[in-house]
Amino acid sequence: MQDFHFQHKHLTAAEVSASKMHRLHQVKLFYPAICHIRHGSKVIIHEDSRLVATPDALIIIPANTPMEIINQPGQGIFHSDLLLLSPEIIAEFKTRYLQSWPRSKTDSLCAPLSEGLAFMWGNLLHAVRHDFPDELQKHQAFGLLLALLHDGVAGPLLIERNVNLTEQVRQFIMISPARAWTAQDVASRLAVSVPTLRRRLREESHSFRQIVEEVRMAVALSQLQSTRLPVGEIALQCGYLSSSRFTARFRQHYGCLPKTLR
């Protein structure tokens, strides 16, 4: 399976496989994403809605949106493809194309997999996985976004993301989740004092420690689902020297043990 890391790329692809059903709480992606189920189904519980996604749909996942996820194998196999799109890709697409196309018809997170969407999705996934030149990948991404927009299902991807202080801090942590980050480290990079950093984060209903753990948990989840790295190694890569502490924090955050995702 392909390794999956949070990194500053315009497009990042991953595969998620499992042989048992698992349920995850508070799942949140920091970049907008598109997911396709190849085997099995995925239940998405978001606000007051419950959706069941199957291979005949694309799942549209807006950034920074907490959801409850249930991955359900079919005949013993769950397999999905996930593609994260950078905010820059979305912003450039909106600047180029949005005004000349009608508004989205729905805000549903599930988009029926029309012939056009299937064709564009396959092309984009192939371009990213085979590391085509950036401009070709971007071209394919715009093609998929146009197909989504044409079908009236692009709404959730086009939500504006506020680049607030929380987001800026998160971006620093994502560069190196294993680093022993301190508030002083990040405050220095943002040219503010530590008290100012903490106060402004409180105003956004976050704390520095909370952001660090949120990023580490998100990276750990992606590694568990899309690589075969041992749990202990994933814990180290996410800044936890103790596997038992990592397991406890993961269970508290997502509601299941790391090993149940394998």
Q: According to the model, what pLDDT value does residue 1 have?
A: 31
Q: According to the model, what pLDDT value does residue 79 have?
A: 95
Q: According to the model, what pLDDT value does residue 160 have?
A: 60
Instruction: Out of 142, 158, 174, pick the residue that ends a domain.
Output: 158
Query: Do 174 and 152 belong together in one domain?
Result: no
Query: Do 70 and 110 belong together in one domain?
Result: yes
First vs last C-alpha separation in the chain: 13
Q: According to the model, what pLDDT value does residue 227 have?
A: 86
CA angle 150, 152, 156 (to 5 degrees): 120
Token pair, residue 42, equals: 């995925």
- Domains of the chain: total: 2
Query: Do 122 and 210 belong together in one domain?
Result: no
> Quick check: 151 and 114 in contact, CB under 8 A?
yes
Q: What is the pLDDT along the chain (262 residues), one digit of tens a residue?
A: 333 333 446 899 999 998 999 999 989 888 899 999 999 999 999 877 899 999 999 999 888 888 999 999 999 999 999 999 998 898 899 888 876 545 555 557 899 999 999 999 999 999 999 999 999 999 999 999 999 988 888 877 876 655 689 988 988 888 789 999 999 999 988 888 999 999 999 999 999 999 999 999 999 998 898 888 999 999 999 999 999 999 999 999 999 999 988 7
Query: Do 43 and 80 belong together in one domain?
Result: yes
Identify whether 1 is part of a domain: no
Query: Do 27 and 85 belong together in one domain?
Result: yes
Instruction: Out of 108, 136, 158, pick the residue that ends a domain.
Output: 158
Q: According to the model, what pLDDT value does residue 63 have?
A: 84
User: What phi and psi, each to the nearest 5 degrees, are found at residue 133?
Assistant: -55, 150
Looking at residue 229, which CATH number applies to its domain?
1.10.10.60
Identify whether 123 is part of a domain: yes
Q: Coil, helix or strand for 120?
A: helix
Give the pLDDT confidence of 104-157 residue by residue, as tens digits: 555 578 999 999 999 999 999 999 999 999 999 999 999 999 999 888 888 778
Give the containing element (helix H, strand E) for 37: strand 33-39
* Whole-number Å distance between alpha carbons of 42 and 119: 22
Report how far apart, in Å, the C-alpha atoms of 205 and of each of 164, 166, 191, 208 are.
Answer: 12, 9, 21, 10
Identify whether 224 is part of a domain: yes
CB within 8 A of 230, min separation 6: which ones? none
> Quick check: 144 and 81 in contact, CB under 8 A?
no
Instruction: Out of 97, 131, 158, pick the residue that ends a domain.
Output: 158
User: What phi and psi, each to the nearest 5 degrees, are found at residue 235?
Assistant: -60, -45
Looking at residue 99, which CATH number applies to its domain?
2.60.120.810
Q: How many helices (H) and strands (E) does the chain have?
A: 9, 9
The domain of 228 spans 165-261
